[in-house]
Structure 1
Amino acid sequence: MGWGLKQFFWAFLVAVVLFFNGLSYSEKAPAYTFVKEATSAPLVSFYDYIIIGGGTCGCPLAATLSQGARVLVLERGGSPYKNPDQININNFVNTLSDTSPTSFSQPFISRDGVLNTRARVLGGGSVLNAGFYTRASSKYIRDAGWNQTLARESYQWVEKLMTFEPAMLQWQSAVRNGLLEVGVLPYHGFTFDHLYGTKVGGTIFDKEGHRHTAADLFQYAHPRRVSVYLHATVKKITFKYNRETKRPQANGVIFKDEFGIKHRAYLSKKPMNEIILSAGAIGSPQLLMLSGIGPAHHLEAHGIKVVLDAPLVGQGMADNPMNVLVVPSPAPVEVSLIQTVGITRSGSFIETASGLSFGHSWAEKLQGIFELVSNQSGQTSKFSPEAMQSFADTIRSFANPTLKGGVILEKIMGPLSTGHLELITTSPDDNPSVTFNYFKEPEDLRMCVEGMRTIIEVINSKAFSKFRYPSMPVQALIELMINLPVNLRPKHLSAAISLEQYCIDTVMTIWHYHGGCQVGKVVDHDYKVIGVDALRVIDGSTFYRSPGTNPQATVMMLGRYMGKKILNRRFLHLRK
């Protein structure tokens, strides 16, 4: 497969799902004096807390800890504020396709043949996502063992700085009304809460279209107690032997700057000091392994000295599967991100997005694919002439400021299906091998099928009729999706008539992967790595399932939540 086609795969994936729409940052973006390039870092330094990863969780965690301790944040990516146009809605496809060492996203392909990406930028996934903000359910919070009062206060701490009520325009309103028409009830209006029925969620885009990210939460930080280094790639965590506990104790990290120069940061000799991994569901288990914590046989095979045999590191990896239908529209559509959501009792979540800024070069590539699909091997097209024309018009419209159409998608709850992560190389710059095992559990497949049925009903609803071609049946949309290269998995003819096979063949990621360092298996309920001192993992890698319809709110909440808990215990210890 040529790289040009691979680039097209990425562009198509992004274009279809619209999950990485990025409106420009405010011209009044924070000017943090404590955020610097790693090249300016001292060769040796000492801190109370060292946080690996300045992402969705690491930023609120560091901002909170800085209120009572000296904190170092090591982020392997750059700043989202340096070039606001780079994540403007008009350039997001190019940003996602950018594979340069300093790009905001790092693509990878799971062993399942699904195209994916990891964030590498201060603010993490909140810099790249569709901006949807919604809390976890009360049950999720109870099951996680979190204090509900502190969790609510931590959500509110995030929301004061980051969240807004979106303006509901025509496309989002039509899907909302369609969900209500087909029975996804009741209607809750605008709310951050996770409730069965249909609702409008929050957004991290303000009324001027500026994206607010987890990096903005550094406005809460104590500027003289926090240091953030960009393009700082951690090679490994270092350990010493604790004679009192007779266990390994984390005492520092080795990181390199963009020129490859090594720096060392150590914990100062005070009680309660810790290293905290917040590198995400891919980065945290990977760095534990690179540091010698993981399955001993796997580490030894890579020549890594075993600090602790921890066979469950990298296990329990999961990614919520997503399936979509692209809907060309005869009526003009606005550019909208994820705002409406239908939370069904069958276990699937229905969301939508419309419009898209799309460059002419990508339009040409999509046009070529469309022509290939429409006339494979000289066979008669499956579509009516009118449907063919409308699809062709839609593809050609990609060269205009916005895509004339949108997508309706479903994500399943959970999921139950899990996989694993393994090292391929010992370089922290390289992606590990990840297997998610989409639809391994039959219940996941059942939820997908029910979700697709709901999407079909919404498209056929009276409320949505303005945005669909009457002569274009849903079956035509299904057949188009089957023929487009949305992933690298094999395709089957039965996918056109079987929603089960359709789910399997056209599965994509919704970028909500989690697991690899799960609570009770790799870390305890205080997120301390089991069997090791002075080391925690606080991020989505600790989750057993994805919270709510989008995890970013809960990941940010967790950073604030655990920062408060750690500081409170630190203050109590110092008073003794």
Structure 2
Amino acid sequence: MSDDANKFDFIVIGGGSAGCLMANRLSSNANNRVLLLEAGKPDTYPWIHIPVGYLYCIGNPRADWMYKTEPDKGLNGRSLLYPRGKTLGGCSSINGMIYMRGQARDYDNWAELTGDEAWNWNNSLVDFKAHENHYKLDDGADPVTGNNSRFSDMHGHGGEWRIEKQRLSWSVLDSFADAATEVGIEKTDDFNSGDNAGVGYFDVNQRSGWRWNTSKAFLRPAKQRKNLTIWTEAQVEKLTFSKDGDGAIRCVGAKVHRAGTPVTVSAAKEVVLSAGAVNSPQILQLSGIGPASLLKEHGIDVVLDQPFVGENLQDHLQIRAVYKVKGTSTLNTLANSMVGKAKIGLEYLFKRSGPMSMSPSQLGAFTRSDPSRSHANLEYHVQPLSLEAFGDDLHEFPAMTVSVCNLNPTSRGHVRIASANFRDAPKISPNYLDTEDDRKVAADSLRQVREIMAQSAMQPYAPEEYKPGVQYQTDDDLARLAGDIASTIFHPVGTVKMGRIDDPSAVLDPHLRMKGVAGLRVVDASVMPEITSGNTNSPTIMIAEKAAGWILAGQ
């Protein structure tokens, strides 16, 4: 291979939720030679595309990095599986497919933290809409009002990122929604208008009952472009740099192991790191950008002493309450019989609907953990099924799971390399439930679940608390139990945060450029200074949309 074959204008590292959009947008200019690097394989594994297939992708090295957290004090010493997508499409190939932006206040807060109004809600809404293809606008009209003003103000149509309603319903979930209204949570038909308070079925990133990942959305239309090169099974060992006579540092490329063979690639304009909230700080640290003490500990030459690379890790911790129910069918009932399994398979085969089209969570609710909160700080994921832990068999008794998470955790963790070997997994320490506020919200949220389940709408099912158990009542009991039963809902962010130029804890400037290193930008969930109030996949894609616009405009 000639040297010219390894020279590009832009190198995008990571073919996930942000990287796929970045590759599409940067290669839309035929003058830009773009290389997209993905450590995993193409997204040809069949279970990626069947919605329920996340069960066979998470914990499977074919599509998952197979990470685990360090033992966590807040989880009473437990270590959690920490799935991260390792295939084209990244986490959008294995996630819950829930389309969720968060709240307007999240983005207005980013604008304040960065000093850049480009991040506020109104400006970010433009970037969300730029790639949306929302089913509610398929006929050009709001199905409720008959005109298109309500949804077209908030949503886009004709873009690459398909959003559809779920192709199922469950009576026990409908009754939970009714019970939620009894405690003051109003029903909503759109969680994505800037205020997501309410209860309703989640919208999902699917097309006609199939998962719609970012590889299909953004790479499929761009793959035939002669100026776009895509390498899979190409893992980055480290970034490469140059220094001028004044000592100014510039990122000029990367050392890559492609199918086991080391290759050095160069970028004339920019390297865009879109490897995610775990892998982006890992790659930076392996490359010599990070806390000097950590780098020296592992024998890595310090290119830039940046102590906050890998810090500020935030995640949503979900607490799973399980209730036995009577007089209704749940997925436990169906999936534990041969007849039920046959019905499930046939419904999906012929209609692309039913349980095989399910996202992991179907019904959602956003509300406050207590009246003193100024906004919805809890998110519910409600499911007509139950199991002891993710990956286990479903319980043999009919049951439902009411998972609830603190949307605005105050605990902070970190990601740090374990060695100088790029093949070694980093150490991931989320530090869940590390603050008194997070422990209080955990206890309050479990009480609120009990309040909803006690409402009249749920009584036909005679709900019986199976987990955590009614014997646990005090704040201390419930916080400790949260540590025993809670798990990640797979939303790590913040480890390479953006911020004001004069903010020493901000690794990036407001346009996501690495402070102190030219030619290097980070574009993924790691840049969030604070986590969004909801699922994080679509906000990550919005970040990429905004960053691509800046890069193409020379900003």
Shorter-chain TM-score range? 0.7 to 0.9
Deviations 1:376-431, CA, capped at 9 Å, x for gaps: xxxxxxxxxxxxxxx6x32xxxxxxxxx4331101102211002222112222221
CA contact (8 A) 1:348 1:450 kept: no
Deviations 1:54-73, CA, capped at 9 Å, x for gaps: 11111112211111222111
CA contact (8 A) 1:195 1:343 kept: yes
Deviations 1:512-551, CA, capped at 9 Å, x for gaps: 1112211131111111111111111111111132213111
Unaligned runs of 5+ in 1: 1-39, 367-390, 395-403, 483-492, 571-576
Give the secondary structure class of the aligned counterpart of 2:17.
Answer: coil
Q: Which amino acid aligns with 2:176?
A: V
2:313 matched to 1:302?
no
Question: Structure 1: how far apart are the matches of 2:306 and 2:176?
Answer: 47
Q: Which amino acid aligns with 1:137?
A: Q
Partner of 1:563: 548
Query: In the superposition, relative to structure 1, how do residues 87 and 326 fare at CA in structure 2: closer, same or farther (>3 Å)?
Result: farther
2:441 matched to 1:462?
no
2:497 matched to 1:506?
no
Deviation at 1:211, TM superposition (A): 0.3
Give the secondary structure class of the aligned counterpart of 2:58.
Answer: helix
Question: Structure 2: how far apart are the matches of 1:497 and 1:517?
Answer: 34
RMSD over aligned Cα, in angstroms? 2.8
Give the secondary structure class of the aligned counterpart of 1:47.
Answer: strand
Question: Structure 2: how far apart are the matches of 1:98 and 1:138?
Answer: 36
Give the secondary structure class of the aligned counterpart of 1:555.
Answer: helix
Partner of 1:545: 530
Deviation at 1:147, TM superposition (A): 5.3
Give the secondary structure class of the aligned counterpart of 2:492.
Answer: coil
Partner of 1:164: 164
Deviation at 1:210, TM superposition (A): 0.3
CA contact (8 A) 1:496 1:502 kept: no
CA contact (8 A) 1:55 1:214 kept: yes
Unaligned runs of 5+ in 2: 73-77, 112-118, 134-159, 332-354, 370-376, 500-505
2:317 matched to 1:321?
yes
Deviations 1:135-164, CA, capped at 9 Å, x for gaps: 132221222221545522321233213211
2:68 matched to 1:71?
no
1:93 to 33, 55, 58: 55
Partner of 1:106: 66
Question: Structure 2: how far apart are the matches of 1:423 and 1:438?
Answer: 20
Question: Structure 2: how far apart are the matches of 1:555 and 1:139?
Answer: 16
Partner of 1:247: 248
Partner of 2:420: 426
Question: Structure 2: how far apart are the matches of 1:288 and 1:353?
Answer: 38
2:127 to 145, 154, 171: 154
Deviation at 1:265, TM superposition (A): 1.0
Query: In the superposition, relative to structure 1, how do residues 47 and 172 fare at CA in structure 2: closer, same or farther (>3 Å)?
Result: farther
Give the secondary structure class of the aligned counterpart of 1:554.
Answer: helix
Query: In the superposition, relative to structure 1, how do residues 85 and 505 fare at CA in structure 2: closer, same or farther (>3 Å)?
Result: closer
Question: Structure 2: how far apart are the matches of 1:105 and 1:266?
Answer: 26
Deviation at 1:464, TM superposition (A): 2.8
Partner of 2:227: 225
Query: In the superposition, relative to structure 1, how do residues 128 and 406 fare at CA in structure 2: closer, same or farther (>3 Å)?
Result: farther
Deviation at 1:191, TM superposition (A): 4.1
TM-score normalised by the chain length of structure 1: 0.75
Q: Which amino acid aligns with 2:403?
A: L
Partner of 1:54: 15
2:484 matched to 1:522?
no
Question: Structure 2: how far apart are the matches of 1:437 and 1:86?
Answer: 31
Q: Which amino acid aligns with 2:70?
A: S
CA contact (8 A) 1:479 1:496 kept: no
CA contact (8 A) 1:339 1:352 kept: yes
Q: Which amino acid aligns with 1:292?
A: G
Q: Which amino acid aligns with 1:126?
A: S
Deviation at 1:196, TM superposition (A): 2.2
Q: Which amino acid aligns with 2:34?
A: V
Deviations 1:488-523, CA, capped at 9 Å, x for gaps: xxxxx9999822221222221111111221113111
2:367 to 301, 319, 344: 344
CA contact (8 A) 1:495 1:502 kept: no
Question: Structure 2: how far apart are the matches of 1:238 and 1:71?
Answer: 17
Give the secondary structure class of the aligned counterpart of 1:254.
Answer: strand
The sequence identity of aligned pairs, in percent, is 24
Q: Which amino acid aligns with 1:76?
A: A
Give the secondary structure class of the aligned counterpart of 2:124.
Answer: helix
With 249-258 and 456-465 compared, the bigger mean Cα shift is at 456-465
Question: Structure 1: how far apart are the matches of 2:2 and 2:180?
Answer: 53
Q: Which amino acid aligns with 1:205?
A: Q
1:125 to 78, 91, 102: 91
Q: Which amino acid aligns with 2:98?
A: F
Give the secondary structure class of the aligned counterpart of 1:556.
Answer: helix
Question: Structure 2: how far apart are the matches of 1:89 and 1:309?
Answer: 43
Partner of 1:195: 196
Give the secondary structure class of the aligned counterpart of 1:286.
Answer: helix
Partner of 1:178: 179
Partner of 2:437: 443
TM-score normalised by the chain length of structure 2: 0.78
